[in-house]
Each structure stands twice: as C-alpha cells, then as structure tokens.
Amino acid sequence: MLGLWGQRFPSVWVLLLLPFLPLLLPAAPASHSASYKPVIVVHGLFDSSYSFRHLLEYINETHPGTVVTVLDLFDGRESLRPLWEQVQGFREAVVPIMAKAPEGVHLICYSQGGLVCRALLSVMDEHNVDSFISLSSPQMGQYGDTDYLKWLFPTSMRSNLYRICYSPWGQEFSICNYWHDPHHDDLYLNASSFLALINGERDHPNATAWRKNFLRVGRLVLIGGPDDGVITPWQSSFFGFYDANETVLEMEEQLVYLRDSFGLKTLLARGAIVRCPMAGIAHTAWHSNRTLYETCIEPWLS
C-alpha cells in the first residue's frame, strides 16, 4: 500500500528531500581565482617583463587563477631614469590594479625595483599591499664595483664615484639615487634626492605621512644572499650596511632602525618582517630559482 502511494505521488518525496539535497550532492570545486590576491611584479635595472617568465610560471602552477601583472615600464636603459620619475610611472600603473582588489595585493619587487616599491608604499596614502616581497634589493644602498657601474661610469671606481653621484647631474641616474658611500656620509645625506628621503635620514615635510603610509603594509619579506655578486654589501637586502670602516652593521644596528625613522622597528615589533637569506644564488637568478620561490616567496602569496 505504501509502495503504491509512493508510486502515485513521487513529487511528495521530492519535496520532502529538497532541503537535504545540499547534503547529498558533492560540493562544487572551490574557485582559486577568488582565493588568491593579485600579484604585481616590478623589475630591476636593465630588466623587462620577459625576465620574469619563470616566476610567472611558478605562481600559475602553485596558485592557479592568480592574477599576475608584470609591469612593463622603464625597461632596459629606461631603467636608468631618475627613481622619482619611475615611482610616478609605476604609481599610475598600480592604482587601478589595487582599486579592483579590495582584499589587497602582493608586491614582488626585484633589485632596483625594490626601492621603487618601497617609495610607492611611502607616497601612496591608500595602498592595500599585503605582502611586500623585496627580492635582492639594495634597501640600504649600494657601494660596490659591478659590471653595471663599469659600463655606466667606465672611468670611475667606487672610491671616487661619489664625485659624480652626489652632484645634481649624477642624481639624474637611478643608480646614483641609491649610491651610498660610507666614507662620505655627509655628502650622501645632503645630495641624495631619493634614498636619504625614503629612509627618513633627512628631514622633509612629508616624513610623518610617508612613515604612516609605509606602515600600512601587512608584511615585509626580505630576500637576499652572500653569493649575489651585485648587491654590495649583500646585507643591504636586509637593511644592513657598512659603517665608515666597511664593517657591516645589521639592520638592528642601523640608525634608521634605532630611530624608527620610516617604520622598520615598528614592523619588526609587530612580527611583520620576514628575513629569508639563501646562499648559492647569483643576482640574475633570484626570480628563476624554483627552490627560492618555494621557500621564500610562495608562502606569502595568500
């Protein structure tokens, strides 16, 4: 009798089971594109977006659906343009990307690009950067003879390059914007139109606002290593640098940290600085080394 009733009124059973269908049916696969924040990549000196094809491949493989933008600005020799000019250009490029990402974005900034990105974080009042990943970037400056310098200034060596870099003419070259001669600190402080300002080493009317903006970042990831071969000293990637005797002082010994001039000490106190040193990687291989990506970059691309 019950079976006959069920045959005659199958719709009754369907109606009774409707509330339980979500429990009976398999769950739909999660959407990866909705779960990962967009990634913005900024290249370094003499680079272009093509240099980051391996990094793009790694991100797509491990975080499928992630929107990755490798900014194609100031490529090749154009990367020698003054850094404030580059900051303005990159700012115009990242604003619309950030506007479409209310949950925030990640920055991966390589070499000279790491300084461009730090300036961006300083001057942008409403940036929404979650992880700022500084990839082998001379954050405390550069003081070393490299092939780049020999090509650009063939008759100068690091001991006398300050004569060029600390002149108004020299400050028109990006590399001179972060040339940091520990034997001529007064000249550096007075002449540097970029690094001394974003470090808060020289007073300027925007210092308080820039520090507040920088501290909006969720996390600062510092990556570098002793076999880099270009960043000199290599500890500059971790905010270490030479004293007047060319002894390297670590970040916690630097005046910019002790004075908390742009927020480093505050970031460290809140556990927002990650240091990831890795040996055996040359400067041009940081963005293509798979082990480095898996160890130092991928964990912070939420």
Residue among 213, 216, 175, 212 nearest 83 (CA): 175
Q: Is the dihedral of CA 69, 73, 76, 80 positive or negative?
A: negative
59 contacts 66 by C-beta, under 8 angstroms:
yes
Question: b/e for 121-154, b at 16 or more Cβ within 10 A?
Answer: bbbbeebbbbbbbbbbbbbbbbbeebebbeebbe
Q: Over its length of 302 residues, how does the chain's per-residue pLDDT go in tens digits?
A: 444 444 444 454 444 544 554 444 444 444 444 589 999 999 999 988 889 999 999 999 999 999 999 999 999 999 999 999 999 999 999 999 999 999 999 999 999 999 999 999 999 999 999 999 999 999 999 998 766 665 556 655 778 899 999 999 999 999 999 999 999 999 999 999 999 999 999 999 999 999 999 999 999 999 999 999 999 999 999 999 999 999 999 999 999 999 999 999 999 999 999 999 999 999 999 999 999 999 999 999 99
Active site residues: 111, 228, 283
182 contacts 93 by C-beta, under 8 angstroms:
no
- In this prediction the pTM is 0.86
Q: Which residues pair with 275 in a beta bridge?
A: 222
